[in-house]
Structures are given as structure tokens and as C-alpha cells.
Amino acid sequence: MKAVIQRVLNANVVVEEKIVGAVGKGFLILLGVARGDTEAEVDILAEKILKLRVFSDENGKMNRSILDVGGEILVVSQFTLLANCRHGNRPDFLESAPPELANRLYELFKEKIREKIENVACGIFGADMQVTLVNDGPVTILLDTETLKKK
């Protein structure tokens, strides 16, 4: 499972010219589910994201988590994070999970985040979406559960 976490001042996602999810200060999370991912990867990723200390404390140091600042989260499913560009110029997406598995784990991920975060908005799985954001910092973190599992 891969995620791009962007610290934002605000973000929204539009489907068919309607805003379907919007947040203020917090995270925009682009989430890609890989073939072979399980609930274990959901748990690892959700826990890591909730504890990431990328918000400033009173001294201006990135020392506070989204839980500490009462931030909001917008989650958008993005299978293209699993793009394989090793051969040729056209990416393949064979490493991404089949839609049924990807949607189930995407929904589970949102549930895990909602256990700790009051305002969690989301896109629509499989839809053509337009995402708008104001990246704060800019702060952008790439996470991959394959790397997070290695100790």
C-alpha cells in the first residue's frame, strides 16, 4: 500500500462538477492499494499517518501530529501510485490491487482514520476526480508499507 500525504491548508475533490469532499487544515491522502495488500497494511499505514509529526509546535518545529492539531483528512483512492514505468513509456498498473480488494481496503482505511479524526472526507472510488489543494509548507510525504514493515 502506498500513500502520498500532503499537509494542506485546504483541499477538495470534485466529481461531475460537484464537490464530494472537502477539508480545511490537515492532510490530503492519495492512497494506492497494491496486489497482495491486506488489513495489516491498512493498520500499519493508518497508524503511521496519524502519528506523523509534521505540524509546527510553538517553536516552529515540526513536532505535532494531526491528532495534536485537530486536523482534518481528505482521502482519495489513486491506483496510479502503483504505476510500473520500468519498461517503455506507457506505465502498466499490474501491481495495483483488483478493484474489489482495493475498494474494500480503501473503505477500511477510511474507517480506521475515522476512529481518531472527526472530519474525514473522501473521493469516490473509481470515479474521474479533480482534486484541488493548497499544500502547506509545502510538506509532502511518501509512504510505502513495504518500506514501513522493514525494521
Which of the residues 38, 80, 130, 132 is marked catalytic?
A: 80
Three-state SS at 51: helix
Q: Does the active-site annotation cover 80?
A: yes
What are the φ and ψ backbone dihedral angles of 129, each rounded to 5 degrees?
-125, 150
Half-sphere exposure of 111 (CA within 13 A, CB side): 9
- Residue in the structure block whose three cell numbers are 517503455: 88
Residue 109 appears among annotated catalytic residues: no
Determine which one of 27, 78, 109, 145 is catalytic. 78
- Alpha carbons within 13 angstroms on the beta-carbon side of residue 20 total 16
DSSP string, 55-82: EE-TTS-EEE-HHHHT-EEEEEE-GGGG
| Whether 79 is catalytic | yes
126: alpha, beta or left, given left = phi > 0 and alpha = psi -120 to 50?
A: left
Is the preceding peptide bond at 138 cis, omega within 30 degrees of 0? yes
- Selected catalytic residue, list 27, 55, 79, 109: 79
Just list the catalytic residues: 78-80
